[in-house]
Amino acid sequence: MATVNLTAENFDEVAQGDGIVLVDFWASWCGPCRQFAPVYEKSSGKHDDITFGKVDTEAEPELSERFRIASIPTLMAIRDGVIVFAEPGALPEPVLENVIEQVRGLDMDDVRTRMKS
């Protein structure tokens, strides 16, 4: 599946749906972002059930501010509208795949219960 370009206009619509959404916060001038891009693209081809989105932090500064993105690349994982992972750094492919499996394995009822307490 191709990655989706996320903007201030479509972010909430994409991120608040059911299922898993991964978001790569990046910029064209960022070397580690360019290193991570092919890893992210390859992973998007392996997981048809996941939406892979990209936020260009230069073009979408309001999204960077909203999510307090201080370092790029930053990978964010959202499941069923809940942010369950956000970490800066260019992840190697095995680590990205591990994050995906962990997000898939979450008990979202448990996650929501913990959010309330």
Whether residue 43 lies in the annotated active site = no
Spatial separation of the C-alpha atoms in residues 42 and 35, rounded to whole Å: 12
Residue among 33, 39, 50, 72 flagged as catalytic: 33
Residue among 20, 30, 78, 91 flagged as catalytic: 30
> At a CB cut-off of 8 Å and minimum separation 6, what does 12 contact?
none
Whether residue 30 lies in the annotated active site = yes
**∠ CA 19-59-15 to the nearest 5 degrees?**
10
Residues marked active site are found at 30, 33
